[in-house]
Structures are given as C-alpha cells and as structure tokens.
A and B are shown apart, each in its own frame.
Chain A
Amino acid sequence: MTPPTSVTPPTAARLRSALPALFLVLLAAAGPWLSPHPVDVPVTAPYAGAGGGAPLGGDQLGRDVLSRLLAGGRELVASSLAVAALVTATAAVLGTVAALRPRAGRVVDRAADVLMLLPPVLGLLLVALSWPAGGRLAPALAAYVLGVPYAVRLVAAAAAPVVASGYVEAAVTGGERLGHLVVREVLPNLRATVLALFGLRFVAAVYVVATAGFLQVGPRPPAADWALMIRENAGGILLNPWAVLAPSLAIGLLAMSVNLAAAALGGV
C-alpha cells in the first residue's frame, strides 16, 4: 500500500511542478475558442499534408487538423476533471470513515479486491454496453466506479496514522459525531494525500475516457475528440502523420504532465 504521505503543505517548488499540467488543461479548455476553422467543415483535401490554411494538414474528410486538435480536448479534460473531483471527494469521506470504523474498512478492502479482477477496459465496455444512450457519461461513470475502491483504500491507509493520534482518540472518547470526526479532525491533515489523489485519479480518468473514445464507445463522430481523431485518421497515417501524431502527443503530454505533478505534490 502507498505509504502515508507527509502532512506538510506543498512547497512552492512542488507547486511549480504542476504548472505544465495546469497550462495544458487551460489550453484544452480555451482551445475551442482558438480554432481558426470550424471543426466539421472540410477546408482542404482528405489527408492533405501541412500547408496553406491548415498548418497540420487535413484529416480523413479534409477538415483542419489544428482546429480539431484545439477543439478536441475540452470535453476529455472536463469529464476527466469531473470524475477525478467526484472520486476524490467520495474517497476522502469514505476512506476516513473506513479508517475510523474498521468494519467499514474491511468492506472497502473486499470491494477493491473484487474490482482488481476486472480489467478496466472490460469494465468500461460493460458500462458502455449497459448504457448505450450514455454517450460521454458512460465512460465517465465507468471511470468513477473503477476508481473509487482503490482511492478509498489509499485514503484509508493515509488516514490510519492520523486516526491513531492522540487528539483524534480524544475527540472519539469525547463523543464527537462521525461527521465531525471526518471533516474537522481527520481530513484537514490529509490535504497532501487528497491533492495527490486528485492528480492520480485525473490521470486514471483520462486513461479510461480516452480509451473509450478510441474504442468508439464514448464520443460519436463528427465530434472533435483527441482519442477519436487517432482512431479515425489511423488509415491516413502515411499521407498526413500529423492527423494522428498531434492528438497522440496531446493525450500523451497531458497524461505525463499530470502524473508528474501528482507525484511531486504527493511527495511520492
């Protein structure tokens, strides 16, 4: 299990390591406003090379790759952020409860053990199959369900030493209610853990949501989406490599920068 992370607040150097990730997230969010061309209208020949009005060339239908690249990250990033926030919030509360109430902790442990047997991609397909009308929400739901048990276990492990500390024991003996113990006594000491967890869950959500796009069980054409772009334009990889390379780089850089930021923030 992950060792409990330090309870000291992150230093400036650690915060600086989150800057590349923050920049990419903001760029993805602002991207649709920066697109020079509409994302669903051909502006050049299919798989045309770079040049003219299309600096990264055209895609399978001759649509501008740069515009689709700028537009194709917002929803991926937004749904991943939403999933990460929800998983982290759920895990922060349930993990602390699991540390305070050993019986609940055992239930969480078993749930994580069971889920460990389900490859994430199969879990994703299962949810997509059960909820075909879900669109983008289906992969988000899959990412949430697949993420919670591990996250709860991680918070519970980090909360265990805090729960064993004198002042929490004093509060427990003092008859404080569970809600008070969780929110006022334990969680404030787990800020670093929760912050790192948020970053890790964000990367994991990007993995699930992007894989869903690639497997065509999330966003549907003609939506501009990085993962979908890679799938759609794979056939023209020889004619215009940028149509595949640019979205691959975008997803790759996002996953790497967020993971490095989470590692630095969590001090792991």
Chain B
Amino acid sequence: MTDTPRKNFWSGLGVATVSVVLITWIIPTYGGSGFAFGLPPQLLATLGAWLMLACAAALSIVSFITLKRDGKPLIAFPEFGHFWHQTWPFLYVLAFIVLVDRFPLTWTAPFMIGALLLILGERRWHVVVLSSIIPAAGLYGLTAHLMRIGVV
C-alpha cells in the first residue's frame, strides 16, 4: 500500500469533520432557499457533502483498522523543524499579500523576490538583483504600457 495509513486516518477525519460542519450548519444556513420546481438550491451541495462524509469516514475507519493491526500509534507529531519548513512559505506569501494590499505589486515585487532568493540561499548579488528586477519591470511594461491599466 502506497498511502500512509496515519496520514489517511487524519486527513479522512479532517474531511469528515468539515463535511459534518457543512451538512449541519454551513449548507442549511448559507446554501440558499426558495421554492423550486426542479432542484432545491441546497440539494447538490448537500449530496457533495454526504459523498465527502461517506468516503472520508470509510477512509478513516479502514486506516484506523490498519494502524491498530500493525500496532502503530495514531498520533505522531512532526518535528518542529519539519513543520516550520512547511509553514514559513505560507506565512511569507501571506505577509506579502498584506503588503500588496497596501502598495502596488510592481514596487513591492523586487523586495519579495529578492528576499525569497536570499532566504533560499542565493548569495550572488547580480542573480538576486536581476531576478528581482526583470519580472517586476516586465509587469510594469505589461500593465502600464501594453494593457494601459496603470501600475498594479
């Protein structure tokens, strides 16, 4: 079996939880309502959520049995270093999105690209400078001159 049972167990549990929240709260509250001759507005979304729930629950149960049979623990915390390595890119992009929300992307992009290159271990200054400036200059040329929509 190529799948890790523990991964399957937890992902199945997560998807099942989301689908329960969808079925019991989100779809009934925000799924829309009104009289329909054909399909009620919530029907297809509810069917999708039930499909998710059934499959995710089955996946979790099967993985749970496999884990118990093999005598492996249900919980295995990832190392902090590994967890951080997976998390920081999201935080970096999120911080950058917050920045882009306030300043034009064209001006902030060289800093974003350059900083990311430095974080990833690039130390040749000419590579950092060229890689940072050329895409931003390209975006400037595209938006300000070709599309004429102004600096984004």
The answer to whether A and B belong to the same complex is: no
Task: Please report A residues at the B interface, Cβ cutoff 8 Å.
Answer: none
